Structure 1
Amino acid sequence: MIDSTIGAASFIIACSHQKSYDCLSRKNDFETAINFASSPEYILLNTSIIILDQAALNQFSLLNWKKACSTAIFIIEHPVDDDECILVPTGILEVFLRSALIKALNHLNIKQQLELSHRDLQHDHEQISRLLDVGQALSAERDHDVLLARILKESRLLACCDAASIFLIDRHAANESHPAPDLVFKLTQNDSIDFHFQEQRFGLDNRSVAGYSALTGEIINLDDVYDLPASSIYQFNASFDQSMNYRTCSMLVIPMRNHQGQVIGVIQFINRKRSISISLSTPDIALRETIGFDQKIIPILQALASQAAVAIENNVLIDRVNLLFDGFVKASVRAIEQRDPTTSGHSFRVAELTCALAETANKCDVGKFQNMHFNNDEMRELRFAALLHDFGKVGVREHILTKAKKLSPEAYGQFIYRIAWEKERISNYYLKQKFLLLKKQQLRSDVEEILTIEEMTKLQRLNDYMQAVAEANEPSLLSEGTFEHLKQIREYIVEDIHGNSRGLIDELEFGALSIKRGSLTTDERLEIESHVSHTIEFLKTIPWTPELSNIPKIAGAHHEKLNGCGYPNGLKNNEIPFGAKIMAVCDIFDALTAKDRPYKAAVPLERALTILQSEVECGHVEPELVTLFTQAKIYQILDIS
């Protein structure tokens, strides 16, 4: 009798050798099936040993026999050029035949064990390769929700389990009244049932399986959650099973540790299955098809949990950095707008409109928008560019930036003072004239009346001058005849307290008051326009990440025009970034409709849309963007009636 390991195996022996067949059939203690096969066609595919006599080899070559069953071991009577065959000469005693068979069976047993080991190694290699692929995929994922879903999906595939859940520890939730962190039930997946899931928060304690694992850092491996040890601190919450007619059987909870060894959450694996394709649609099926989590799979899932922890930590860190950067950008915009309170909120409104128009363009699949798509990074880049498009105003002198009238408050105040001084001089002059005539007793009533009329005429003239300057000082369109009136005012000579002669307004004041529209002189307008160049230069100094590297280019092109008449670089249509074209439409619209500009009233909605259309006709802005802006009513995100 051969050893029990060999005897227990299921082997098939095929004989073309009658003597061997008779011998084995008469006394078969090998626990094998014995078949007689006179030709290869009678060989079963899973035959283990084939005993061939020379007649069989003469009729059919060894190659033909091997084709019938390539995995079998061959016992032959005469030597052949094949090291794998076992030689048993003709007329050999039965004991030697049995010895050859034992040798063949031992060889087969070793071969099977090697094959099993190879399959195990191949499976381990596949698991490790998959783990590496998963790690790369997780480290590359930046969307936090997608990352969590990917972690659960890959975890379930590796563990071959029906369901899995992920819990994260929120230590920021702790405060004086609630010192313990929260355990946040972030996501769950289940192959067998569909249900609505909503994120939940619990105080972190050791009463639940997940909470216990998160607090202690221990791996919890349960074959049946309904059969917990009496001494266990934690309990299984069966409410989900009861409400969904589900049966949770095996459960494995693995803590996720970051690079510092700190537990940041846990992954809960539920119901390991015999096959991933099985649906545990009823409790009976779950009880029948669910198996426990063996010790072999735990290290693999631990490695995955570690990768998941690092990926989650990185994502959280990136989100916090982004949040911090977002806060810095907003704070910078508010600081810049404090220098120009008249445009407060403009940058935020332009960013809101720009992002809304870009998102609408994303959904449009006609015309220029057909191949135009902003991904998440590009949307973020566009938003920052819109927020920072007027950042360069920090390089513009404040009195020009905030200039609401053509004359500065100081210059206008000095003009009013000169008017008052001249009025006082005129009144004093006529008072002296009347006093001298009175002294000479020559102040008749008719003479006094003439002097009074002259005085009032000159004073009224000064009042008219003051009114004309006040009207010309407004940034509205200069009326006809005002220019000539201003020349008269300039030529009216007055003396200051030092006796120096000068006009009521000087050349600079005359030039400022002569501006036909707006409040800025040519030089002042050039300085205001320079804010775009300052924006480009300032933003270039920031070490933007690759996905935000176009911010200076986009923000610096919002005053460019399609026909090349814009500034600062006179770019034409195809040279202007598409994001800047979107921003240009929104910037013009907000400048027209803003209620906080002291130098102009807000333009009504319909009038603003008409002006936008005129900008299209002048070749300044993208026609399809204006059409989309108007038809989609993008402006409705702002409170504009």
Structure 2
Amino acid sequence: MPSSYNPTERGWYRDAQARRHAIVSPAYTFASNQALGITTATPLAAAAGVFGIDLTLNSLQAFLDQLALTPHGAVAILDDERRVLGWSNRGAIANDPGLQPLAPLDSATEPLWQEAARLSATLQAGSARFQRLAGVPYAAARQVIEPLPGTRFEVLLFAPQADFMEGAVQTRNRMLGSMLVVMIVLLPLAWLGTRNVVRSLQTLARNSERIQRIDFDSPPQPIESHLYEVDVLGQSQQTMYQSLKQRTEALELAQAKLSQIVQTGIELGRQQDRTALLRRALFGARDVAHCQAATLLLKTERQTLRFALRTSDDPIPDFELPLYDPQGQPVHQYVATHVALTGETVVIDDIYSETRFDVSGTKRFSESSGLRVISTLNVPLQPQEGEIIGVIQLMNALDPHTGQVVPFDPEIVSFVEAIAAQAAVAIQNQNLLDAQKEMVDSMIQMIAGAIDAKSPYTGGHCERVPELAIMLAEKASAVQEGPLAEFAFRTEDEWREFRIGAWLHDCGKVTTPEYVVDKATKLETIYNRIHEVRMRFEVLLRDAMIERLQAIHEQGMPSAEADARFEARRTQLLDDFAFVAECNLGGEFMAPERTERLRRIAGETWWRHFDDRLGLSHEELRRHEREPAPPLPARESLLADKPHHLIERASTQAFHPKYGFQLKIPEHLYNHGEIYNLSIGRGTLTEEERFKINEHIIQTIVMLERMPLPPNLKRVPEYAGTHHETLTGTGYPRRLTADALSVPARIMAIADIFEALTASDRPYKKAKTLSESIKILSHFKKDRHIDPVLFDLFLTSGVYREYAQRFLLPEQIDEVDITPYLG
């Protein structure tokens, strides 16, 4: 396969997407192996993609070469442009028609094929007639097949009339010679037999006309004549009729089975459900082979064959057939394992006389099921010369006329192998789709786990919220009355869409710095800047010590007075630092008087003797250059809000009006001003930092809406991005009201809040009990921040307790009286 190959750019992919139904492509060159062929393609549900199956012209040619034709017959299959897809001929017309694959039939160089091309252009579809070709009488038939709207294939059959009437012509010539003698010698007697001969000849003529029309509704009228020659001619006509009928029926059967193979391929391409796909493949093989029963065995990763499906209602065996023995040697003693190991098709006419393989298991099945298996056909499932993925076993071929069990006709093997190949490709493609889904789901869970691992302050939040959301969604889907009666996830795609949305509900947190999420004190950034502030107090205390010594030794101040002044200063600095450190913790509300004292302390000054612009990164130095550097030594405030504390907000498309976000965006990205941070009224976060944390939901929505999600995942951004909205329009980021919030979005809000309340792996808070968490959640219901109907279902269905037993610590689980919170 070329590295540049992209199936979505192929004509069959675009046609299937555009027409929105199954199509059969014109013949073209495959990119994988440069072979000519056609592709059957059908769009997947919800425009998720296109499923295609390839059929090479080589396989079609091989099929035509095996067709049972008359000794000098020929057949050709054309597309709707009258290009030759395949041809076969026999006997005297076995000359090469001079046609290349996909060449128009009219371009044939062999004269007989040239005349056949002209004849087919005038012959109506579904009709047949006798016509002279190259001076020889021929029987010709033309049939048009339309497996799908807009797709036509033409089958052209022709054979010399002599193939059917050679014996009759010879007999007729002998009879005419004898009649001439009789007329000359026995003319008087001839008149007596005229009426009988005329009637016989008229019957022969009528029979011949019916044969010419390919009319096989009833056998030809028998000839009763006292003349030997007429009687022999009638018998020859009967023989010709039977021969022509058998040949025509064989061609019609081959055509029907070819159509059935095409139809089965189309249906396999449409299937997205794995079980339905396997059933269609198995039942399609059974129908083509016209047998009593079929079994499908699939290869496992353990190098065994497991029974996957049966056409009968018998229980599927729970054991597996090993492909290799304990010594690693291949197991060829069983027919199924032999086929899986070698890729050979095996036909058994009678298992009770079989000596090549151990068929004891099949005999036991016969005894236990009541279906006496006699003949079997075992075909490998092998996609495009790749690894064998399973085996189809067909049992008891049935005679189409008597219904008796007979051996499998060798001519049917190629048809079954064709269906098996189609099924193998379809199963392999389904396996690839399942593997891709599993990989995507695993990657999504890996991202969620990485977000949880990023900060101990979020713990296992991204893992537990989806579990709780799905538990509540299952209960809501089961409600049959009330406001939730119309809600339900009815398909696996809808459930998967919700699961992915729940797993990704906090994916935007990858953009949130850990030091903001984990900010435990007001001065904390990458580290707690209280250490810088304490060092400044240390400098002031050291200055006080120096002033004490200078006062005693240079100014002559009494030691007692100097000591008293120093002790007072020391006490003041210790008290002021303790106050600043307390403000840094954010445990108390910053009343106006506390803010005023903080500003008074900030007014203290100290002398800086070193250049504060040395050793800075380029970005940090750029911020310092917003103001000129003062000469050293420089007098510095004990606490300050400086220009370089302001971090500019970069331009971003995340706040584009098209997203509909209704949030007040702070002017700066961060403000690290010391007074500004220490003056925070409650908690430890500034307005900028709180916005940055809330911004994770904005980033979640933007990231997900920018992704090229398929139609069956289009609601993932909605499910992931609405859990901070409220029914009253006071939530964020879009301030949606109740009318804009779906049931899944409301479920996500409850799951997100309850998980945060009950989480026991947060380093900044003590784990709440189950009853405390339910009580707090009831306040959200009262304020219409969450859906009251879903909250009541959350309680009455027992989801809260089921979740607690799975994820809460034993000491958190206490008795909860839900009665006060209902209604």
Question: TM-score, normalised on structure 2?
Answer: 0.56
Partner of 2:339: 213
Q: State the 1:313 CA deviation.
A: 0.7
- Aligned partner (choices 591, 600, 618) of residue 765 of structure 2: 600
Residues 257 and 436 of structure 1, relative CA distance in 2, 3 Å threshold: same
Q: State the 1:430 CA deviation.
A: 5.1
Partner of 2:599: 490
- The 3-state SS of whatever aligns with 1:619 is coil
Residues 607 and 544 of structure 1, relative CA distance in 2, 3 Å threshold: same
Partner of 2:444: 329
In the aligned structure 2, how far is the partner of 1:342 from the partner of 1:115?
84
Letter of the structure 2 residue corresponding to residue 313 of structure 1? Q
In the aligned structure 2, how far is the partner of 1:584 from the partner of 1:552?
14
- Aligned partner (choices 495, 517, 521) of residue 401 of structure 1: 517
Contact 1:595 1:601 in 2 (8 A): yes
Residues 242 and 97 of structure 1, relative CA distance in 2, 3 Å threshold: closer
- The 3-state SS of whatever aligns with 1:148 is helix
Matched, 1:164 2:298: no
Q: State the 1:311 CA deviation.
A: 0.8
Q: State the 1:548 CA deviation.
A: 1.9
1:128-180 per-residue CA deviation (whole Å, 9 max, x = no partner) reads 5544443333223333344323433443344444432222334x55xxxxxxx
Matches within 5 A, 1:277-288: none
Residues 235 and 195 of structure 1, relative CA distance in 2, 3 Å threshold: closer
- Aligned partner (choices 344, 352, 356) of residue 467 of structure 2: 352
Matches within 5 A, 1:151-550: 151-170=281-300, 173=302, 182-191=303-312, 194-195=314-315, 197-198=317-318, 200=320, 202-204=322-324, 205-228=331-354, 230=355, 232=356, 235-237=359-361, 238-241=363-366, 247-260=372-385, 262-272=387-397, 290-374=405-489, 375-408=491-524, 409-426=527-544, 429=547, 442=558, 452=564, 459-474=570-585, 476=587, 478-479=588-589, 483-492=592-601, 493-498=603-608, 500-504=635-639, 508-550=673-715
**Worse-superposed segment, 500-509 or 350-359:** 500-509
Residues 275 and 351 of structure 1, relative CA distance in 2, 3 Å threshold: farther
1:93-150 per-residue CA deviation (whole Å, 9 max, x = no partner) reads 4454455566667865259868888877776666555444433332233333443234
- Aligned partner (choices 733, 738, 757) of residue 573 of structure 1: 738
- The 3-state SS of whatever aligns with 1:496 is strand
Letter of the structure 1 residue corresponding to residue 767 of structure 2? A
In the aligned structure 2, how far is the partner of 1:387 from the partner of 1:630?
23
Contact 1:187 1:199 in 2 (8 A): no
- The 3-state SS of whatever aligns with 1:266 is strand
In the aligned structure 1, how far is the partner of 2:387 from the partner of 2:476?
45
- Aligned partner (choices 109, 124, 135) of residue 219 of structure 2: 109
Question: TM-score, normalised on structure 1?
Answer: 0.71
Matches within 5 A, 1:43-58: none
In the aligned structure 2, how far is the partner of 1:294 from the partner of 1:518?
84
- The 3-state SS of whatever aligns with 1:109 is coil
Q: State the 1:316 CA deviation.
A: 1.0
In the aligned structure 1, how far is the partner of 2:253 from the partner of 2:793?
56
1:229-278 per-residue CA deviation (whole Å, 9 max, x = no partner) reads x3x255543444455565332211111221345533211112345799x9
Residues 140 and 464 of structure 1, relative CA distance in 2, 3 Å threshold: farther
Letter of the structure 1 residue corresponding to residue 497 of structure 2? E
Matches within 5 A, 1:558-569: 558-569=723-734
Contact 1:561 1:620 in 2 (8 A): yes
Q: State the 1:349 CA deviation.
A: 1.8
Letter of the structure 2 residue corresponding to residue 421 of structure 1? V
In the aligned structure 2, how far is the partner of 1:220 from the partner of 1:300?
14
In the aligned structure 2, how far is the partner of 1:100 from the partner of 1:201?
68
Partner of 1:30: none
Partner of 1:148: 278
In the aligned structure 1, how far is the partner of 2:317 from the partner of 2:323?
19
**Worse-superposed segment, 117-126 or 511-520:** 117-126
In the aligned structure 2, how far is the partner of 1:297 from the partner of 1:632?
58
In the aligned structure 2, how far is the partner of 1:165 from the partner of 1:466?
83
- The 3-state SS of whatever aligns with 1:206 is coil
Residues 463 and 627 of structure 1, relative CA distance in 2, 3 Å threshold: farther
- The 3-state SS of whatever aligns with 1:164 is strand
Residues 199 and 383 of structure 1, relative CA distance in 2, 3 Å threshold: farther
Contact 1:489 1:503 in 2 (8 A): no
1:330-369 per-residue CA deviation (whole Å, 9 max, x = no partner) reads 3333444454343243222222222333233222223343
Letter of the structure 2 residue corresponding to residue 639 of structure 1? F
- The 3-state SS of whatever aligns with 1:263 is coil
Contact 1:395 1:531 in 2 (8 A): yes
Contact 1:256 1:306 in 2 (8 A): yes
In the aligned structure 2, how far is the partner of 1:156 from the partner of 1:234?
23
- Unmatched tracts of structure 2, length 5 or more: 1-192, 211-217, 222-240, 325-330, 609-633, 643-672, 814-823
The share of aligned pairs that are identical, in percent, is 31
Contact 1:340 1:402 in 2 (8 A): yes
1:3-29 per-residue CA deviation (whole Å, 9 max, x = no partner) reads xxxxxxxxxxxxxxxxxxxxxxxxxxx
In the aligned structure 2, how far is the partner of 1:208 from the partner of 1:431?
104
Q: State the 1:315 CA deviation.
A: 0.7
Contact 2:471 2:799 in 1 (8 A): yes
- Alpha-carbon RMSD across the aligned residues, in angstroms, is 3.8
Residues 521 and 271 of structure 1, relative CA distance in 2, 3 Å threshold: same
Letter of the structure 1 residue corresponding to residue 807 of structure 2? D
Q: State the 1:491 CA deviation.
A: 0.7
Contact 1:393 1:401 in 2 (8 A): no
In the aligned structure 2, how far is the partner of 1:367 from the partner of 1:128?
54
Contact 1:418 1:504 in 2 (8 A): no
Residues 412 and 540 of structure 1, relative CA distance in 2, 3 Å threshold: same
Contact 1:337 1:344 in 2 (8 A): yes
Contact 1:423 1:459 in 2 (8 A): yes
Residues 487 and 600 of structure 1, relative CA distance in 2, 3 Å threshold: farther
Letter of the structure 1 residue corresponding to residue 503 of structure 2? L
In the aligned structure 1, how far is the partner of 2:339 from the partner of 2:789?
58
- The 3-state SS of whatever aligns with 2:306 is strand
Letter of the structure 2 residue corresponding to residue 370 of structure 1? A
Letter of the structure 2 residue corresponding to residue 253 of structure 1? N
Matched, 1:552 2:678: no
- Aligned partner (choices 239, 249, 266) of residue 136 of structure 1: 266
Contact 2:322 2:337 in 1 (8 A): no
In the aligned structure 2, how far is the partner of 1:457 from the partner of 1:158?
105
